[in-house]
Structures are given as C-alpha cells and as structure tokens.
A and B are shown apart, each in its own frame.
Chain A
Amino acid sequence: MTLPLLKMAIVGHTNAGKTSLLRTLLRDVNFGEISASPGTTTEVTGCKLLVDGIKAVQLYDTPGLEDSISLLEHLESKRTSHQTDGHKLVKDFLSSEDAAGRFNQEAKALREVLKVDVALYVVDARERMLAKYRDELRILGYCAKPIVPVLNFTASETAITAEWREQLAKVNMHAVAEFDTVVLESEGERRLFEKIRSLLDSHRNTIDALVKDRQHERASIIRSSAHTIANMLLDAASYSIVTEAENKSQTDEAIDKLKNDIREREQQCVAALLDLHRFKNDDYTARDLPLDDGSWGEDLFSPEAIKDYGIKGGGGAVAGAMVGLTVDVMFGGISLGAATVIGAAVGALVGASGTLGKELLRKFQGKKCLRCDDSTLQILAAREIELVRALLHRGHADIKPVQPRTGANQQLANEAQEIAKLFSKARNRPTWCRINPDHNKETVIMDVARDRLLENTATRLTEILTD
C-alpha cells in the first residue's frame, strides 16, 4: 500500500493547544512539552502518523504566533505597491533579518506553513476572536495554503463555538473543525479529517485510510473493554468460598473476604478500563465520568446499589451482611440450589473437567458455599457498561453528569441482566476463577468452555457498547 504522504503543520496563537492537538492525534501523551504558560514550544518538531504501520501523515508542531499585530504591520510596511501579493511579502520577510530577530518564533511557524499541504490553525474557543487572531489568519492567508481552523477546548462550558464559527466565516473560513484535545472524542477527530479532506482532494486516499484506521482503533478499544468486563464478571461469577456450615465466625470471615475480593476485582477492572481509554487522572472532571475519585462511590454490596440500577433482587428479604451474596446450605446432602446444581452437574460430569465432582463432594461433607448473587453480577455489569459508555462519549456536548442518578435506567438494567445470565454456566466452576486461591493456572487458561463463554460474552458486550 502506498499512500501519498500528507504534510500538515499545526499553527496557532501561543498556548492555544497546538502540542495538545498533536498529542491527541498521535495518541501519545508524552509528545513534546506542554504547559499552561505561553511559548512552551519554541522549535518546530515533526512526527508521523502511521496507518497500518505505514507512514501516512507528517505533522509539524510549530511555536506559537505571539505578536501577529506587529508582524502584520511589519509585513504591510514592506508592501511596495498594492500589487505585491501576500505570498511574496511572506517570502521576503522570511529571508529578512527580522525573521531571525524579533519575529523569530513567527518566522519558524510560517516557514513550516509554506512547506506543508495544509495547516491546522488551532484556536482556544474559550477566548473571544480578538484582532490579533484575525491578524494571524491574515498572515496565514498570505501563505496561500489551505487552512483548517480547529476550535480547541470546545467541551469547556465557556467555549463560544458558535461565535467563533460566525467570526471565522467572516474571514472566509468555513471548513471549521471542533476538536477538544482534553476530552478525546472520536467523532470530532473524524470530522476534523473530513474537513481536511474537503480542502485537499489530492490526499483523499490517505485521509480515508487514516479515518478507517481510527475507526478500527475505536472498535478495537470497545472490543477490548468488553473483554476486560467479561473477564471480571467471569471471575466474580465463579468466585466462591467454602466454609463449614456450622462455623459462624468462619462464615463471617468468608463473607468479608468474598466481598472485599470482588470489590477489589471490580476496581482492577475499572482501572484497566480507564487505562484502555487513555484516561488520565489529571483530565478527570466530575462531569466526565460517573466515578468518584477513580472508583465507584457506592458500595457494590449495598441495597442502594441494587435499587439504583433498577435490579430486581433475587432473594428480596436479604439484608445486612448477606446483601448481594448467596449461600447454598446443605440439608442431608441436598442443597437448596440442588436443582440447578444437579442440572448442571450432568453436563459437567460428562465433560472432562470434573470440577463439579469436587464441588458436589464438598456439599455432601456438611459445608456451605458462599458466592455473590445474581443481583451483584448485574450491578457489576451495569456499572461497567455505564462507565465504558461514559468513557466513549466523553466530550459530547449533550452529556449529562451521570450523578446524581434520577432513576433507574431500564435499558441498562435489561442489558445487565442479559449479560449476568450468560454467566450462569460459570457459577459451578470455581476453577474458572482467577481470584480463587485454589485455581489451577493451566485449567484457567486452557479451558475451552471458559474461553467460549468469555468470547460470547465479549461479543455480546461489544454489541451493547457499540450502539
């Protein structure tokens, strides 16, 4: 595959977020130096965007334009007649001494603009369109290159996007992109590329390939999130602790341990999801996510959690320490859950794993088995689905703060119920659980049925998360 290399320069007023835009496009949080102070980038830096590992776009980060008013004045003072075109003015300026002197920064940026196919003009949409920005645009206009204004920080409440569009239209800038570099949002990025494409037909294929690559990347992240959630749910569903039926203190201990282990497992999952979505703690704001300082504020094992997610509790009468848990008590060798257990046992015993044999044996030895109940699984599923949705839609203007919840979301509850149901097979498979202390590593990673279950759940979750 050969694609014509697309060269883009990122220009703009100082501190408008040029390097941030580049980082976002690169998906590399460590590129360049960023600070809130002006003039952080003083040299032109270049980097590549790859499509399928092949270099498709060359990006240049330029120092900020700081004193466009006097630069424009300077340029126009050199204008010998009305016929002198802007392009020549810029060229003459770049070879003049002033370009090395007081307009050094501006000269570096302009020199890049002359070299590239398109320039992205980054704007802090929270500010008004001041005369200096108009002057910047005029100078850039002299360079005679396509320019796409990129309105940054559009997710901010103080952003005056409409006003900017109006003002830009007045200077004949109509292909304006909105792109918040803080809250990465795939839709905004795609539109940005489309705007570039509208101005650069010669690079249509490159941009199309890039857009496709980005779509693929997003799908991949969704799928990966689904995998992460499925793994966590499987661990929670298959986690069980066996205690002596009569030993009260041992049971209490086991209840605490079970709850803590599952809470911890959920936290791992949340951390992994945040990581997958390249979510950094410093760009966290309360309205972005339903989280409270990186974790779910509400305890998993609380009646409120069940109520909040509109989940119909299985037991109804469960309260106190047993909220969200279930126990199989033995009566003369037959457990309360005997019907389901034995039903599943036939299949499992025929199968090769034989784990259920042990399980049954335990039950016949006067022990009881603690595990989280279906409502807990549903809450886990609902919460994580909600989290991934929030992560995926960060930056959409219409996103409402997820807290406080106004009422149970019936669709979410149904989805959670459906997902939790998929794990009924895992209930009697303590060896499938990676948090279980007595699991065998080899059986966990080499169990076809387990893989299949994970795969199916991940597929379904991907569907749920995609729409």
Chain B
Amino acid sequence: MTASLAQPKLQDRASARTSDRLLAESVRLYESASTEPLDDKDAVDAAIALEDADFESRIIARAESLSVSESIRNALAKSKRIIFLTLCALVLIAVIAGGVAANAALMENTANVFALIAGLLGIQTLLLFVWLVLNILVSGLSSRTISGGGGLLGRVAVFCSQKVISILHLDAFCVAAFAARFRVATTGKSGRWTVATLTHCLWLAINLGILAQLAILFIGEGYQFRWDSTWLSSNDTYRGLITSLAAIPEWAGFTVPTAEQIDASRVIDAAGNIVQDAKTREAWSWLFFGSVVIYGLMPRTLLFVISILFQRCAVSKYRLDLDLPEYVKLRTRLLNQAEITELHDSTSAVKTHEETGTEGKSEIARIRPVGKPAIVGLEITEPECGWPLPFTNLVIDLGLIDGRDDEHRVIAELSSSDTSPERLLVVCECSTTPDRGVKRIIREFKAAASSDVSLVLTAGRAKATEGADAKALAQRLEDWKTLAVSVGIDQEDVIELDLDHLTAQTRSQLNALVNREDSLKESSGALDKAFRLIDKHTKAWRNSVSMREQVELQQQVGNCFKHSRSGLRDLTGIISAKFDFNDPAALTINLKSAAARFTDILPPALRMNPKWLAAGALAGAAGCTAAAIALFPAAIAALPAWSLIGASIGAAVSSLTSTTKNAEVETGTDTISLDDAIRAAVIYAVVLETQLLSEAAISRVLESTFKDEDSPIDNISTWLKEIKHKVELAIVEEMKK
C-alpha cells in the first residue's frame, strides 16, 4: 500500500505492463479470497489463443478477459483515488507538523543559535543518517527495511490503509485491489524504495512547513539570536562552527553573519540583554532559513526524486510470482499445448475392411477324421508348470509360438495332418493386448485346423503381481472375449486359467479341457437333464417302442452331454467316413461293432444278464446311429427308410444277444420293449457321463449301479431317480480312487 502513494504518478508514464500485472494480481487475490471459483472458460480460451506468449502474458490475458475484470479495474481506480487523497492528507499533516516544530523552536524572542539549529535540523538529519546507513551501508538487509527502523512510516501507512478499508467498508474487489497495489509496491526492491519515497516525501513536506512558518515568524516578529559558553572563553571554536555551517548557504546566496556579527552575538549588556543590530539579526535569520533549505529541504528533495525514480524502476520490474499455488494451477490450463491438430489422413475415409467373424463357416471345411485335441501357446511365456502342459499326453502339442516362422510351421502342421484336431486350444496371455495380429493368427489356425477353437487365457503373471489392477485385467478379458467372438469362438469357449499357479481347480479345469477325465462337476447337470429327458419321453411311450424313437431319444440324451464335449470319443472311433446309411450290410457291421463296444464295457455280472446285455447292445447301436446322424447331418438327407436302419440296429443287437437263449429282442424287428428302451437309454446316459473315466472305471460304475436291477420297471420315475442316485454315488466312489 505504501507504494501506492507513488502509484498515481507512476501509472501515467510507466509501462502499461505494470498496470496489467496489477490487474492480474488483483484478480488472483480476489479469486483466492472468494469462496466460489470464477467461470473462466472463455478467459482461458482467450489466453490459450495467444501466439507465442509466455506464461505471465497468458495469466494477464486471462485476467483481462474475465468478467470480473471491469469491476476490478474500477476498484483499482478507486483505490488509486483513495491512496491519493490519503497521501494528500498525510502531506498536509506533515506541513502542519513542520510549522508546529518551527513555532516551538522560536517560542521566545531571544533564541539560542545552537538550540534553534538542533530543533530545526537535528532530528531530521539524524534520521537521514539512519536511513542512509540502513539503505546504503546495510543494503544487504534492504528486504527487511519495511519492517525495520526506516519502516516506521511505512507501518503507519499500512495501518492507515487498513483503517481506511474498514472505515469505508470497501467491497471484495477494492480489498483485492488494495492488496494487489500493496504487493506490487512492497515486493522485492520496490518495498525499500516505496518506503523511501514516502519517508522523503513527508520530510519534504515537513521542511516546507518549517520554512513557511519561519518566513511567517521572521516577517511578523523581531527575534534576537545569541550564543554563549560557560567553559570556552574563546570565540574561535564557535565562530569556526558557524562559519562552516554557513558556508554552503552563503555559497547559495543566502546572507550569513560575518565573523564580527557572530562575535557580537555573544556580548551581553549589563542588563543581560543582547546587543544586536538589525543587520546582524537579519543575517542570522537568513542563515537559519538557508540552513533549513540547504540541509533539510534540499537533500530530502533530492532523495525524494531519487527514491521515486528507483521505486518506479523497481515497480516496472515487478513480475508476477509464478510459483504461487494459484498460478501454478493455471499453468497447465493456460500453457496448454493442446492445440490439437486432428490430422485426418487422406486414407482415413477408406474404412478398414475388417473381416468379421462369420468367416470360417463359409469356407468348405475339409472333412478329415477327427483326431486328438491340439494345443498351442501363442506369444506366451513358458508357464511355470512347464510346456507341454502336464496331464495333456492325450493332445497334440504344437508348441509355444512367437513370430512368423512359428506361425507358418503351425499352420503347415495343422493343415497337413491327416486328422483334424478334435479341438484346438490356443493359449494366450490374458494380460497382453489382443491385437489385430493375434486375431489374424487365431483365424488362420482355425481355418487350418478346421475344428473348433478354445481360447485359454492364462493370467498368472499379472495376477501374481501385488496390487495388479483388477479392473484393467477384467477389461482385458472383455477385449479377448470380443476378439474371440469376432473370430467365431463361442463365449463359453474362452477359458481363464492360471497356468503359473496350478491349483487343484486349475488342474481339473485343464483336464476337463484336454483329457476330459474330470468333468464330473460340469456334467452332473447333464446327467440330470438326460434322466429327465428319459423320464419324459418314456412316459409318453407305449409298451412297444420304435427304433426311430429310441434313436431320437438317445440323440437328445447325447445332446445333454454336448457341453462336456463328449464328441463320443470312443464311438467316433467306430464311425468312419465310410458310414453309409444306404448299405444295409455295411451299416449292420458298423452298428454291430458299436453295439459290441458297449457290451464290452459292461461288467461281467451285467453281461451275463440278458436284459442288460440287450440293453447295452441297443444303447451302443442306437447311440452310434444318433451320433452318426449328428456328425454327418448331410447324410440325413440321404437317409433310407427308418425301418431299414431299425432293422440294422435290431440285427446288430440280436447278433450279440443271440447266444443267449432268453434274448428278448426279436431279430430283425425295428421295435423294442419299453423296458429295454429305458435301460438302453439309461446305459447310454451313464456311459456318456462317465466317458472320461477309464473303461474299468466305467464298468465299475455300471456294475454298482445296475447289478441288482433286473426286475421289471414298475414306476419309471422312481426307478430313474434311484438309478441316478446310484450313478452319482458310484461316480463319487470312482473319483475318490
């Protein structure tokens, strides 16, 4: 605020930039004091739009463009007026104070020469020296000046301005404006020179007051001036002192007392009165007047001019403190390099012809016998469980691949193989990004293998990381699923597995995928479903069931296990491409071997039982037919009459059972009894359920399930329920082993 005293003058000539900074500073202070942030979007835009402007210019530009800038400008103008008026009042007070001081020094008509000099010049000369010492000799401490000795007047000014603000009840804009002026005027070196300007200005006013009062007193009153000494009898010392004091005023043209006049001023007459002629008195009065001009007014005027020059210079060097938190926060916004030039490529209009996921179906898959599942690791680190994966001896290992050469090798292997893999497992790292390259490779693999693909995502490494971002990982998983869908992999064929940390669950999942030895959990739902199906169908049946009905039931039962990728692994070994529905002889042979396959699995105890033997054979023959129809849907179109197929099944069954006298299936017929139909369907379901177990295990399950079940079935539902319970117990038993 003290600087503001000089501010009015400064504003006219100093560079416009200082006033801009003043505005910016006022805005900052206003913003920091106000509770609600300003809406500065447009202002920020205006600042950003500046070309090649530094940060400070942009802050200023922002301040100027703000909607409050007008109010703040007004407040700055108002504060300028208030400061000017305060300054005038202070100057007036100083002039009066000077007059009072002069009056006090000349209270009596006879004045002591030395007392008068001390009274008029003593204190101010002393303070001048203090100021000089503080500012020149101890300039290192200059920054402290404002609160130091020389700053007393400065403090007074601060106090005054605070009072003015509280008395006038100024609004927030004015408070900010005052504070900004205060900051501008007191920051760095300007503080020192502002105080100096103020101090010298006031002393200048005081001296003017003194001179004015002296002139009035000397005009209106007669004064005598004398001096004396008790100890020093000689006049020389005093004469010397006064002559040297008078030298400069004399040089400047003031009349000063001569040596005789000085001597005479010591002489006192008998009455104790000084003997002084008018000329001597006049000379003395001019000496005092001249001394105040020369030793009081002149240096203060000089220093005032110097101070004001320095102050103005310092103020013009004022820069916003860009390290203040408020400005630092603006930095990113204003120096925003976000001049974003969207470069639309000339080619961008051409839409990337993204191959969609329908492909693969359109191309004619080379029909090859289905072989073992194959597994390939695509751009993955060797998992901690090693590669090839443990427990996967039933799969074809295509290795870990990375790069063009590997890709070519795998594609060649896949397409040149005699068999198409039952399923291709592509293992990828879940934490990596599924990109177009990966997509292309999977698509190419899929085409080469001409089989279904399962995507196995291993996320061990990423998950092991402490504090791994679960959200990011979930996002990746989504991306992989999107990729899977786009290359024609079903969502449920995307499996997440932690191959680095093989837990019991991971193992069983892995086995279910590859070896299918442990799909108990997954398929138990299927068993349930199959049994319900059997229940539903057979309830509607009469006592005699056609082969067609039986095949359809078993086909539906088979569908229940589709989820566990039954694929009728063992059965499919029998169904060859040569399976021809039009050739009864060949058909019978094929069906016979299928029936035999099933009866072989039966435990001896059941094989001895004609009922179960027949049921087993029927299950095998009908199941094989169902599977063949499902595998070669194209063949269905060429299906001969069902009676022929039925007869073939019947023939196949009877050929196996004919050795037993009590065969209940009539040779060559295409109808069977309900009891047999149910038993066959149930055996078929149980075999499918347990197909991943070893054959011995399957036999054991069948034995413990069916060994005491040869009496005719009364209530189908109850019977089925019992059987299902037994199957489940048996499987659990088997699993324990």
In the complex, the answer to whether A104 meets B352 with C-beta atoms within 8 Å is: yes
Chain B residues within an 8 Å CB radius of A257: none
Q: Does B628 contact A (CB under 8 A)?
A: no
Tell me which residues across on chain A come within 8 A of B466, comparing CB atoms: 157
Q: How far apart are the CA atoms of A135 and B339 in the complex, in Å?
A: 33
Q: How far is the CB of A383 from chain B (nearest CB, A)?
A: 18
Are A108 and B338 in contact (CB-based, < 8 A)? no
- The answer on a CB contact under 8 Å between B435 and A38 is yes
Q: Does A69 contact B (CB under 8 A)?
A: yes
Q: How far is the CB of B399 from chain A (nearest CB, A)?
A: 14
- List the A side residues contacting B158 at CB < 8 Å: 352, 446-448
- CA A228 to CA B146, docked complex, whole Å: 24
* Separation of A341 and B724 alpha carbons in the complex (Å): 93
Q: List B residues 358-409 near A (Cβ within 8 Å).
A: 379, 381, 402-404, 406-407
Asked if B246 lies at the interface with its beta carbon under 8 angstroms from chain A, I say no
Does the CB pair B324–A445 fall under 8 Å? Answer: no
With the chains together, A70 CA to B325 CA distance in Å? 52
Whether A340 sits at the interface, judged by CB under 8 Å, is no
Chain A residues 43 to 75 lying within 8 A of chain B, measured CB to CB, are 43-50, 52-55, 60, 64, 66-70, 72-73
* Interface contact A135-B331, CB-CB below 8 Å: no
Contact for A104 among B325, B350, B432, B476, CB less than 8 A? B350
User: CB distance B328 to A132 under 8 Å?
Assistant: no
Which interface residue of B54, B166, B323 has the most chain A CB atoms within 10 A? B323
A286 on interface, CB distance cutoff 8 Å: yes
Given A14-B435, A38-B434, A45-B342: A353 and B159 interface contact (C-beta under 8 Å):
yes
- Pick from B33, B146, B404, B431: contact of A73, CB below 8 A: B404
Please, how many residues of chain B have a CB less than 8 angstroms from a CB on the other chain? 81
Interface hits, B441-475 → A, CB 8 Å: 441, 461-462, 465-467, 472, 475
A50 touches B434 (CB 8 A): no
Please state if A50 and B337 are interface contacts (CB–CB under 8 Å). Answer: yes
Chain B: minimal CB distance from A66 (Å): 4
Partner of A43, one of B162, B327, B345: B345
**Contact of A446 with B159 in the complex, beta carbons under 8 Å:** no
Task: Check if A449 is an interface residue, CB within 8 A of chain B.
Answer: yes
Q: Does A463 contact B (CB under 8 A)?
A: no
A60 adjacent to B33 (CB under 8 Å): no
Check A53–B403 contact: CB distance below 8 A: no
User: A101-B353, A442-B179 in contact; A48/B156 too (CB < 8 A)?
Assistant: no
- Tell which of A201-209, A219-227, A238-246 binds the partner: A219-227
Decide if B332 touches A275 in the complex (CB within 8 Å): no
Contact of A53 among B33, B50, B166, B352 (CB under 8 A): B50
B43 located at the interface, meaning its Cβ lies under 8 Å from any Cβ of chain A in the complex: no
Whether B479 lies near A227 (C-beta < 8 A) is: no
Could you say which of A28, A45, A130 contacts B402, with CB atoms under 8 Å apart? A130
How many residues of A are counted as interface, with CB atoms below 8 angstroms from the partner's CB atoms?
Answer: 84
Q: Does A195 contact B (CB under 8 A)?
A: no
Give chain B interface residues in 536-561, CB to chain A under 8 Å.
Answer: none
Judge if B268 is at the interface, Cβ distance under 8 Å: no
Q: Within the complex, what minimum Cβ distance (angstroms) separates B31 from chain A? A: 12
Q: Which of A66, A219, A351 has the most CB of B within 10 A?
A: A66
- Chain B residues with CB under 8 Å of A39's CB are 435-436
Query: Could you tell me the distance between the alpha carbons of A54 and B51 in the complex, rounded to whole angstroms?
Result: 7
Q: Cβ of A130: which chain B residues have Cβ within 8 Å of it?
A: 379, 402-403
B341 interfacial by beta-carbon distance below 8 Å: yes
Is A13 in the interface zone, CB < 8 Å from B?
yes
Query: How far apart sit A162 and B327, CA to CA, in the bound complex (Å)?
Result: 40
Q: Can you list, as one digit per residue, whether each of A66-89 has a CB less than 8 Å from chain B (1) or not (0)?
A: 111110110000000000000000
Judging by beta carbons under 8 Å apart, are A276 and B329 in contact? yes
Interface flag for A452 (CB, 8 Å): yes
**Given A102-B353, A108-B348, A275-B329: A352 and B402 interface contact (C-beta under 8 Å):** no
Whole-angstrom distance between the Cβ of A293 and the nearest chain B Cβ: 15
Q: Are A285 and B467 in contact (CB under 8 A)?
A: yes
List of A residues within 8 angstroms of B170 by Cβ: 442
**Contact, CB under 8 Å: A100 / B347:** yes
Say yes or no: A13 contacts B162, CB within 8 Å.
no
Q: Tell me the complex Cα distance, A102–B350, Å.
A: 10
CA distance A156 to B461 in the complex (A): 12
Query: Measured between C-beta atoms, what is the minimum distance from B166 to chain A in Å?
Result: 7
Q: How far is the CB of B429 from chain A (nearest CB, A)?
A: 8
- Does B175 lie within 8 Å of A441, measured CB to CB? yes
- Contact between A445 and B337, CB atoms less than 8 A apart: no
* A67 and B442 alpha carbons, distance in the complex (Å): 13
A127 contacts partner chain B, Cβ-Cβ < 8 Å: yes
Assess the B332–A278 pair: CB atoms within 8 A.
yes
The answer, yes or no, to whether A416 is at the interface (CB within 8 Å) is no
Q: Are A220 and B345 in contact (CB under 8 A)?
A: no
| A339 is an interface residue with CB less than 8 A from chain B | no
Determine if B337 and A28 form an interchain contact, defined as CB atoms under 8 angstroms apart.
Answer: yes
Tell me, yes or no, whether A317 is within 8 Å of chain B by CB. no
| A126 touching B431 in the complex, CB below 8 Å, given contacts A104-B350, A352-B159 | yes
Closest to B175 in A: A442
Check: A118 CB closer than 8 A to any chain B CB. no
Say yes or no: A49 contacts B337, CB within 8 Å.
yes
Q: Which A residues touch B479, using CB under 8 A?
A: 36-38
Residues of A within 8 A of B54 (CB): 52-54
Say if the beta carbon of A421 comes within 8 Å of chain B.
no
A residues within 8 A CB of B175?
441-442, 445
Q: Are A132 and B379 in contact (CB under 8 A)?
A: yes
Name the B residues within 8 Å of A68 (CB-CB): 437
What's the Cα separation between A12 and B476 when bound, in Å?
18
In contact, A227 and B324 (Cβ under 8 angstroms): yes
Q: Which residues from 159 to 212 on chain A have a C-beta closer than 8 Å to any C-beta of chain B?
A: none
Q: A60-B343, A67-B435 are in contact. Are A135 and B404 (CB under 8 A)?
A: yes
B472 touches A36 (CB 8 A): yes
Chain A residues with Cβ below 8 Å from B162 are: 352, 440, 442-443, 446
Given contacts A130-B379, A276-B329, A352-B155, contact A53 B353 (CB under 8 A): no
Contact B322 A220 (CB under 8 A): yes
- The yes or no answer to A292 lying at the interface (CB within 8 A) is no
- Residue of A with least CB distance to B348: A43
Closest CB-CB distance, B269 to chain A, in whole Å?
50
The docked-state distance in angstroms from the alpha carbon of A47 to that of B48 is 13
Say yes or no: is B578 at the interface (Cβ < 8 Å to chain A).
no
A446 touches B179 (CB 8 A): yes
CA distance A278 to B328 in the complex (A): 11
Q: Which residues of A contact B33 (CB under 8 A)?
A: 441, 445
A440–B331 Cα gap in the complex (Å)? 30
* A154 located at the interface, meaning its Cβ lies under 8 Å from any Cβ of chain B in the complex: no
How far, in angstroms, from A54 to B57 measured CA to CA in the complex?
12
| Per-position 1/0 for A380-407, Cβ under 8 A of B | 0000000000000000000000000000
Q: Is the CB of B53 within 8 A of A53?
A: yes
Q: Judge whether A101 and B348 touch: CB under 8 Å.
A: no
Measured CA separation A227–B323 after assembly (Å): 8
A-B contact pairs, 12 of them (CB 8 A): A27-B331, A69-B407, A101-B352, A104-B348, A104-B350, A127-B431, A131-B403, A131-B404, A156-B465, A352-B156, A442-B178, A446-B178
Q: 13 extra interchain contacts, Cβ-Cβ under 8 A, other than A36-B475, A220-B328, A446-B182? A: A13-B435, A36-B472, A38-B433, A39-B436, A45-B341, A52-B55, A69-B404, A102-B352, A104-B347, A157-B465, A227-B324, A285-B467, A351-B155
Q: Which residues of A pack against B, CB within 8 Å?
A: 13-15, 26-28, 30-31, 35-39, 43-50, 52-55, 60, 64, 66-70, 72-73, 99-102, 104-105, 107-108, 111, 126-128, 130-132, 134-135, 156-158, 217, 219-221, 223-225, 227-228, 272, 275-276, 278, 285-287, 351-353, 440-443, 445-449, 451-452
Residues of B within 8 A of A (CB): 1, 29, 33, 50, 52-55, 57-58, 146-147, 154-156, 158-159, 161-162, 165-166, 170, 172, 175-176, 178-179, 182-183, 186, 322-325, 327-329, 331-332, 335-345, 347-348, 350, 352-353, 379, 381, 402-404, 406-407, 431-437, 440-441, 461-462, 465-467, 472, 475-476, 478-479
Q: Which 7 A-B pairs have the closest CB atoms?
A: A131-B403, A352-B159, A223-B323, A66-B436, A67-B437, A15-B433, A46-B341
